[in-house]
Amino acid sequence: MSLDKGALFTILAHLSRLYDTLSPMNTNDHALLEAALIGYQHQAEQISEKIADIRRQLSGKSPAAAPKAAAAPLKKRSMSAAARKRIAAAQKKRWAEYHKLKEGKA
């Protein structure tokens, strides 16, 4: 089933008009409200199907899409020796400053 944007907007506008016609009704007719609810649910299902069809067309997939594959395991990140040296030097600098301030207070 193929549906263009214009047809989708037409359907949505029609639903909006239907809702507007029932909204101002100040009625307690339970059967009427149940029938309206059933009708809206049916239309919502049809719209959902059409939206799914459009999404499939946009992604270029067939209607019977393949199941999602499990996520690939993450590759362990490695760090170069130079980067390890820079990090170690920065940590030593921080500790030296910390101990210098600690000795100055005592």
Per-residue pLDDT of the chain (106 residues; tens, 9 = 90+): 566 777 777 777 777 777 666 665 555 677 788 888 888 888 999 999 999 888 888 887 655 555 566 677 888 889 999 999 999 999 999 999 999 998 887 6
Helix locations, 1-106, DSSP H: 5-22, 30-59, 81-105
Six-digit token string for 47: 């719209």
Residue type, 23: S
pLDDT score at 106:
67
DSSP state of 24: T
First to last CA, the chain: 81
Dist CA 35 CA 20 (whole Å): 16
